[in-house]
Amino acid sequence: MKRIYTRIPRAAGDKKYLFFRLLLGVCLLPIFLLIAHLLGLPGIFFHLISMYAGIRLFLARMKKRSKELSMIYSLIFAPMDAVRYFEFGITWREVSQILSRGSYLDISSPRIFPIGLMLRIKNVSAILLNPDRRDVELSREIIDSLNLQDRCLVHNCMIEEVTLPESSFDLISLISVLEHIPSESIALSKIWNLLKPGGNLVMSVPCAAEAFVEYTDFDEYGLYEKDQQGFVFGQRIYDDEALNERIFRFLGKPVSMKIIGEKRKGTFFKEREKKNQFWHNYPHWKEPYKAIRQWKTYQSLSDLPGLGVIILKFQKTVI
């Protein structure tokens, strides 16, 4: 695969007017959510779930007299990037058709998706895996604030380290995770063994007309070693050949496949740079509107002008 090397700008921005921007967000976010809804944006439900979780977490922390509110701000105003609205919405449609009860495993997906699923589907017990200890602690705090702790457990480990019994889960979700694992064949083998016969695996990975691997100078989770230039493996972008060689050869062909992508090449990387560099000044409340303006569905990877996301559903054959 072709390699690209990206330097990630460090967070900057003036915090002086942060309170003013917070008030602006309170006023404008409902307007942009409504506009996006009227224009047909999927996945808005997950933003509402995140807002609900943020309010519940705020109340829980107020009782403890905690002054740490940055995550609550993120949950309410900036729970997901623009593409996630499509990604979560389409994935939810796939999941809601196949799961009404049973056991569910999520592997390091953005937390609001499995938590939203647990709130919507009452007769499901879940295990969430995450290798980031800080992220695990926050996920547990959110789960407790939503009273989901009796049927939703969070484990701090990587998928390769899991010791759960084989054929244990009716559904496994893996949203924008596999591309960050250097050796995905080991992870896929482990995941497939955990799935019950007749069970479903729903996953998404970034895609493009031509595959490439991105290396960055920022290692958020500290899981991999940097090279001599200070770069570390970031993510793998799949094309048709890479999907066949690195995923389908292990799992077989998917029973369904949906593609979303940016309308203009470079949109994703441009927006990512803005957020990383100017987080405090970025207009997060516009994200739902940006989603419907900047992203759309496609029929094939060859149609993509730039970066996309492909949502795949696999079903394990009953022998």
**Could you tell me the residue range of the domain that residue 275 belongs to?**
2-315
How far apart are the C-alpha atoms of 80 and 45, rounded to whole Å? 12
Q: Under DSSP, is residue 223 helix (H, G, I), strand (E, B) or coil? A: coil
- pLDDT tens digit at each of 319 positions of the chain: 888 888 877 665 555 656 677 788 888 999 999 999 999 999 999 999 999 999 999 888 877 766 567 788 889 989 999 999 999 999 999 998 887 788 999 999 999 999 999 999 988 999 999 988 888 999 999 999 999 999 999 999 988 888 899 999 999 999 999 999 988 899 999 999 999 999 999 999 999 999 999 999 887 767 778 888 889 999 999 999 999 999 999 999 999 999 999 999 999 999 999 988 887 788 899 999 999 999 999 999 999 999 999 999 999 988 7
Q: Which helix (H) or strand (E) covers residue 170, if one does?
A: strand 169-175
Q: How confident is the model at residue 177, as a pLDDT? A: 95
Q: Which of 190, 128, 184, 204 is nearest to 159 (CA)?
A: 190
Q: What is the CATH number of the domain that holds 164?
A: 3.40.50.150
Q: Which amino acid is at 266?
A: G
How far apart are the C-alpha atoms of 259 and 309, rounded to whole Å? 6
Q: Which residues contact 110 (CB under 8 A, 6 or more apart)?
A: 80, 84, 88, 175, 176
Tokens of 80: 């997901």
This prediction's pTM: 0.92
| Total number of domains constituting the chain | 1
pLDDT in tens, 217-271: 887 767 778 888 889 999 999 999 999 999 999 999 999 999 999 999 999 999 9
